[in-house]
Amino acid sequence: MDKFNRRKFIKSASLASLGSASLLAAACSKKEGDHNVSVNINTNETYEWKMVTTWPPNFPIFTDRLNEFAKAVEKMSSGRMKIQVYGGGELVPPFESFEAVSQGTAEMGHGAAYYWAGKSPVMQFFTSVPFGMNAQQTNAWLYYGGGLDLWREEYAKYNLTTFPGGNTGGQMGGWFNKEINTIADFNGLKIRMPGLGGKVVTKAGATSILSPGGEIYTNLERGVIDATEWIGPNHDYVMGFHKIAKYYYYPGWHEPSACCDLFINKATFDKLPAELQDMISEGAAALNVEMLSDFETKNSEYLIKIKQESGVELKEFPQEVLDKLQELTAEVINEITNSNADCKRVYDSYKQFYDNIAQWSSLVDRNYLAGQNTAPEKKEEEKKPA
């Protein structure tokens, strides 16, 4: 496991105040030339928290990054706050973590908000929207577009507060044992796909099934499900899907990014001293950056492994299929927002921000990324005559 770089962390997390910056600087590893920083902290009271998660124990990226978050908070607090991370099922079942934190059985949890859509459909919009914003755009909406305030307002109804707790970045479209050539090929499929994407494929004739990560391989192998989306090449390879599925589809239209959820019992959090609240906040900001960076790095590495080591065929969804899925997405969102005022309010905020940022992204990102298939020096080599 790579060492948590708290210097890089501080620069990337955009510290909110000089006070919180001082707290972080005091806890960081010393480098030559660093000055001693004196911070007045009451060290009399200590806190031992439990973090319950929806992810399997020892799950790549998630477990490492969450353990590093816990270590960072402990170091920043000079040992005043210790957080023990539990995988799904170690303390409570994966999909009971929300309730466990809400009721105070555990102080903190980590998952994805769309897992809690059964409590309120508005939760789905805080994880991902099909054909919606990427990770960078989503973070901009949450931190500076009012999205996080709306998220916390919803969670407060359940005695929770929350922080963006990482992002998977772009995802793949899923593992299938039959080709998807037309939208009709979704008809009758049992597919593991949560969130709004699950509602979209249901409209296309499939059955959306929600299952914890630790059960997906067995369910796919035994035919309980016919297809599954998961995350991306790193986790999909580790899960072994390339051993039991024929086709690996892209793009991940259903989750152009997936924001993870670091949720905390609100009453417990509100009782913390302000400096510890700040440390958790800054630790969460670093977790958000570090997890996305980890995903980007490992997904690129494992895509190569899948292509080299398996007979799986990578296939792109036909454009006519994507066009139809986008139409169905609009229908799903209209139905949800027309029947739920909270969903409408959140989606109106999301869509307004997306419409604005898309104009900027189309200028600076779209054409650039369309040509970004090799490094610049490689392209120059390709131009040279043989």
The pLDDT score that the predictor gives to residue 35 is 33
Taking domain 174-256+311-356, whether its CATH number is 3.40.640.10 is answered by: no
pLDDT score at 1: 38
Q: How many CB atoms lie within 10 A of CB 87?
A: 20
φ/ψ of residue 96, rounded to 5: -110, 5
User: Which residues of the chain form CATH 3.40.190.170?
Assistant: 18-27+44-169+259-297
**242 burial via Cβ count (<10 Å: 0-12, 13-18, 19+):** buried
Give me the long-range contacts of 296-300 (CB less than 8 A, separation at least 24).
Answer: 296/169, 298/60, 298/61, 298/233, 298/234, 299/169, 299/232, 299/233, 299/234, 300/233
Query: Residue 210 — pLDDT band, cuts 50, 70, 90?
Result: confident
Q: What is the reported pLDDT for 362?
A: 87
Q: How far is CA 275 from CA 23, 38, 49, 63, 287, in A?
A: 7, 14, 16, 26, 18
Tell me the three state secondary structure of residue 238: helix
Q: What is the pLDDT of residue 5?
A: 43
Contact 253, 322 (CB under 8 A): yes
Dihedrals φ, ψ of 89, to 5°?
A: 95, -15
In sequence order, the 6+-apart residues with CB closer than 8 A to the CB of 369 are: none
The pLDDT-based confidence of 211 (bands split at 50, 70, 90) is confident
**Percent above pLDDT 90 for the chain:** 80
Which H or E run contains 85?
Answer: strand 81-86
Residue 20 scores a pLDDT above 90: no
Residues of the chain with CATH 3.40.190.10: 174-256+311-356
Task: Tell me the pTM.
Answer: 0.83
Mean pLDDT rounded to a whole number for the chain: 88
Q: Is the per-residue pLDDT at 98 higher than 80?
A: yes
Among the listed ranges 15-24, 78-87, 329-338, which one has the minimum average pLDDT value?
A: 15-24
238-255 mean pLDDT = 96
**Which pLDDT does position 278 carry in this prediction?**
98
CATH 3.40.190.170 is held by the domain 18-27+44-169+259-297: yes
